[in-house]
Structure 1
Amino acid sequence: MRLRPAFLLLVLLTAVSSCGSEPSPDPPEPDPAPRVVAGYFTEWGVYGRDYLVKNLRTSGAADRLTHLKYAFGKVTGGRCAVGDDWAAHRKPIEAADSVDGVADLPADPLRGSFGQLRKLKAAYPHLKLLWSFGGWTGSAGFTEAARDPAAFAASCRKLLDDTRWAGLFDGVDIDWEYPNACGLACDTSGPDALTRMLAELRTALGPDALISTAVPGDVSKLRATDYAGAARYANWLGAMTYDYFGTAVTAKRYTTAPHSALSAYPGIPRDTATTEATVTELLNLGVPAEKLLLGVGFYGRGWTGVTGAGPGATATGPAPGRFGKGIEDYYVLADRCPPTGTVGGTAYARCGAQWWSYDTPETIAAKVAYARGRSLGGLFAWELSGDTPDAGLLTAMSGRP
């Protein structure tokens, strides 16, 4: 059969048109990993907890972290200062406890955790390190620092540039609990005190330095400070979305409640005591979502003498813990008192007369999904020694195996 010329022309034009167009690409899959995966390493952990910098490598945590915060430096006389000299940079580390298997020598100018952190950063070049100042028991000094924030910032810069560890830290974390509000002590520095402090730190440290600051989980404290203003000078704000409820007596009785719920649940003692409420409030106050980190506690809070299996049960007091009443590390609880239920997006456990609440890899995965859904900058953990030897919680937090 012979084809007519007009038909051949139509076929040719169709072929050319098909060759010139490409199929629409499938939309890219969203990245399951948070942009920031940060964790606190506590200075005192090298003592009773025996949690060393080496554990960050052997557990796999160092590979999953993007940022590590060393807690805590002190604020003394309104200036940045070393917390524990011995633990930080003087304690000799034996070969068996060293990141690279090499022991410290007496002549080494930098020993202790700082020397080990330098080795860790050499092995994991992607890892950024911040020196955190303050903390729950160390925040009183910020009130004096706020009177002369330029001098405070200059002192921090001088401390970071100390020749023994110069270049080790990529920036600072300000853990002020709480500016213009009450923690262990009450501060009245004004709503702009934190903003002025971070502005001076940015000037002193430069545009490339990392600066972060802790933010209360308690919604009632969030309007006491201009956190949106502070965010202009910080790389991120870490919302302490845990410890909403503890084991203190309220209404003359002890009552069980999860300390780190993601969302409200029927019977919650305070509707705003949730991660969702804290995040929503901060976003409404003008903190950019990409600068907000969601906090995850690697520990549980618990009661003893409980009368019921779920939250809201009465108890006789805080459950015993190795380092404090009513508090215990996750890796201990996961074995000793495993979860028996979930409520408000977090887990709880009833074992005998005790009742504990804590996050698990499964509930943390849900918090990661929530953070991604709100376009948050990432997550951080308080604190890394509470995790399992294989970094089970941090693995879930990182959003990747």
Structure 2
Amino acid sequence: MWKSFVLLTILSALAVDATDKVVCYHGSWSHYRPGDGKYSVTDIDPFLCTHIIYGFVGINWDGSIRIMDSWLEIDLAALANFNGLKARNPSLKTLVAIGGWNEGSTTFSAVASSASLRTAFVNNAASFLQKHGFDGFDLDWEYPAQRGGAATDKNNFSLMLAEFRTLFDQRGYLITAAVAAAGGSVDLSYDVPKLNQYLHFINVMTYDLHGTWDAAIGHNAPLYPSAVDVTVAQKQLTVDACIRGWISRGASPSKLILGVGTYGRGFTVANACSNKLGASHSGGCTAGPYTREAGILGYNEICEKLLAGGWTVTWDNLQQVPYMCNGNQWIGYDNPESIAIKTNYAKSMGLGGVMVWSLETDDFKGKCGQVNPLLNTIRTTLSLPITDGGSSGGSTGGDTGGSTGGNTEGSSDTTTTTTTTPAPVVVPPGSICTKEGYVRDATNCGIFYRCVLSGGSYIQHSLVCPFGLYFDTTVDVCNYPSLVAC
């Protein structure tokens, strides 16, 4: 069994072409945000993503589909305009997501428990797609057998998916799902081999791994464990552990889409910036001007704070993510560098692509530099062309995140810089970066650099392979050492 798993992982690492999806959610409520936070369907760049998912519609007790905001979605034609994006980009696939956190589990559970209601739900979903012009349906049931659900949800969800796949294959529609990431939740909610069989792809929500529900400060989406993660349970709350958990439970890597957040989660702390990971907190950070919810900030709000100055940015070499603090405010988030590392991780694991929650909290106005820096970093890392406003080819535009070369032997856990106006690291020609693309470190095969030409100079992004892997210059992914000429 172990040898089979290792072989599967090796083959997945070599399957570079499988990592080709950029799946993006759009939260329709962003239409109502104030000022520069307002983001409507008409603001979506149809070339940013390969698949875009409209969130959300609701489910009724009889298995029918509920439109959540008829004024926005019908009167103002948000659904029609959303699917109209395909007129500009015929390669784009559009899906609609049903559920979400606020929908809960109770209605889903009731419908899934009845054979007749399951069939009605599947037929209603297909009719909804046909009526509005969507290409697929995304099930965002959060979560089977949890939050008001029943123990039988796990099996009933699989039965529901089997019906979806049968009908949708006949009609040419996609069926996907947004799923919990952490192993404990996965075991409660999903028969993973069945999901792998019936879903076209699986959007793994590898974020919200820590937040104000925890007693101590933790990063929203760490790639690997921090220095304070010492128990088995703590070490499982990382992006890497979640993805490996899904694979070990029977998911094909090529079916998994790695979720990344265009937002951060923050805390109000007691002792200003002396607080580190694992310290106590008194609640969420101050709400931002656009998202207006304590404890969470969009990347557009974060980069504007960094531009205003006064923040200390720390790069965690172990977790491969940044965090920032100012006074009693502590915020863990993803920046272009950590997004590039996670995208390369998806490539190295042979995953099907990268999923983004969500479009409306990237820096879509380019107020901090590049337009949509996080989305364009994903595209650059996947060797896809930069879209409108992204001529810098994946430059950070916002903070540099205190970038480092990764967690090498003898390095400290964190690197800290105090910033006022963030700027990318410029490396003159003749140094590490002499051309665009990837360059492996001369002394450590687990470290590599992404070089981007911008304004006559090279921007150097330092990246690190997952533990135990080397960067393979023949295919530009991290690979097993035995397969790499180092």
Letter in 1 for 2:151: T
Matches within 5 A, 1:268-283: 268=229, 270-283=234-247
How many equivalent residue pairs?
Answer: 339
Which residue does the alignment assign to 2:111? 145
Aligned residue for 2:68, secondary structure, equals coil
Shift of 1:204: 2.4
Moved more, 285-294 or 45-54: 45-54
Q: Is the 8 A contact 1:339 1:347 kept in 2?
A: no
How far apart are 1:120 and its partner, in Å?
A: 1.4
Counterparts of 2:337 and 2:200, CA distance in 1: 28
Q: Which residue of 2 aligns with 1:265?
A: 226
Q: Which deviates the most, 359-368 or 204-213?
A: 204-213
Alpha-carbon RMSD:
2.0
**In the alignment, is residue 362 of structure 1 matched against residue 337 of structure 2?**
yes
Aligned pairs for 1:31-70 (under 5 A) are 34-48=19-33, 49-57=37-45, 62-70=46-54
Query: Does the CA contact (< 8 Å) of 2:23 and 2:52 recur in 1?
Result: yes
Q: Deviations over 1:156-202 (max 9, x none)?
A: 1122222xx2xx2001000011112x24x343334222211111112
Output the TM-score relative to the length of structure 1.
0.80
The structure-2 alpha-carbon separation of the partners of 1:119 and 1:190, relative to structure 1 and needing over 3 Å to count, comes to: closer
CA distance, structure 2, for counterparts of residue 43 and residue 144 of structure 1: 26
Conservation of the 8 A alpha-carbon contact between 1:296 and 1:380: yes
Aligned-partner Cα distance in 2 for 1:205–1:72 = 20
Distance 1:155 1:271, change over 3 A: same
Distance in 2, matches of 1:306 and 1:391, equals: 34
Q: How does 1:112-131 map to 2 (within 5 A)?
A: 113-131=78-96
Instruction: Choose the corresponding residue for 1:243, options 176, 184, 208.
Output: 208
Partner of 1:6: none
Decide which moves more: 124-133 or 314-323: 314-323
Inter-partner Cα distance in structure 2 for 1:352 and 1:134:
38
1:196 is aligned to 2:159? yes
Deviation at 1:309, TM superposition (A): 4.5
Distance 1:189 1:324 in 2: 35
Separation of aligned partners in 2, 1:317 and 1:187: 31
Structure 1 residue aligned with 2:378 = 397
**Partner of residue 71, structure 2:** 86
Cα distance in 2 for residues equivalent to 1:30 and 1:195: 28
For residues 133 and 384 of structure 1, the distance between their equivalents in structure 2, rounded to whole angstroms, comes to 17
* Conserved 8 A contact 1:81-1:159: no
C-alpha contact (below 8 Å) 1:139/1:175 kept by paired residues: no
**Aligned: 1:136 with 2:101:** yes
Indicate how the Cα distance of structure 1 residues 271 and 80 shifts in structure 2: closer, same or farther if over 3 A, else same: same
Structure 2: how far apart are the matches of 1:320 and 1:222? Answer: 32
Q: Is the 8 A contact 1:213 1:238 kept in 2?
A: yes
Of the candidates 199, 219, 223, which is equivalent to residue 183 of structure 2? 219
The code of the aligned residue for 1:237 comes to I
Q: Could you tell me how far 1:30 is from its partner in structure 2?
A: 8.4
Q: Do 2:57 and 2:66's aligned partners in 1 also have CA atoms closer than 8 Å?
A: yes
| Residues 366 and 339 (structure 1), Cα distance of their counterparts in 2 relative to 1, 3 Å cut | farther
2:314 maps to a residue whose letter is G
Assess if the C-alpha contact under 8 Å between 2:286 and 2:329 holds in 1.
no
Distance between the aligned counterparts of 1:234 and 1:249, measured in 2?
A: 32
Larger radius of gyration: 1
- Cα distance in 1, alignment partners of residues 38 and 169 from structure 2: 36
Q: Any idea what the Cα deviations from partners look like across 1:34-68, whole Å, max 9, x if unmatched?
A: 311011011211112421122222xxxx2130000
Identity %: 29
Normalised TM-score (structure 2): 0.67
Query: Closer, same or farther in 2 for the Cα pair 1:123/1:380, shift >3 Å?
Result: same
Gap change, CA 1:191 and 1:316, over 3 Å in 2: closer
Q: Is the 8 A contact 1:34 1:368 kept in 2?
A: no
Q: Tell me whether 121-130 or 205-214 shows the greater mean CA deviation.
A: 205-214
Whole-Å separation in 2 of the counterparts to 1:279 and 1:341: 25
Q: CA deviation at 1:249?
A: 5.2
Query: Equivalents in 2 of 1:38, 1:282: separation in Å?
Result: 19
Unaligned runs of 5+ in 2: 1-13, 365-370, 385-392, 394-486
Query: Residues 355, 193 of structure 1: CA spacing in aligned structure 2 closer, same or farther, 3 A cutoff?
Result: same
* Rounded Cα–Cα distance in structure 2 between residues aligned with 1:360 and 1:194: 35
1:206 is paired with a residue whose SS is helix
Contact 1:37 1:380 in 2 (8 A): yes
1:386 aligns with 2:355: no
Shift in CA distance, 386/33, structure 1 to aligned 2, threshold 3 Å:
farther
1:12-45 alpha-carbon deviations (Å, 9 max, x no partner): xxxxxxxxxxxxxxxxx98689311011011211
Residue 158 (structure 1) aligned with residue 130 (structure 2): no
Equivalent position of 2:315 in the other structure: 342
Separation (CA, whole Å) in 2 of partners of 1:195 and 1:249: 31
Counterpart Cα distance in 1 of 2:205 and 2:150? 19
Which consecutive residues of structure 1, in runs of 5 or more, have no partner in the other structure? 1-28, 92-110
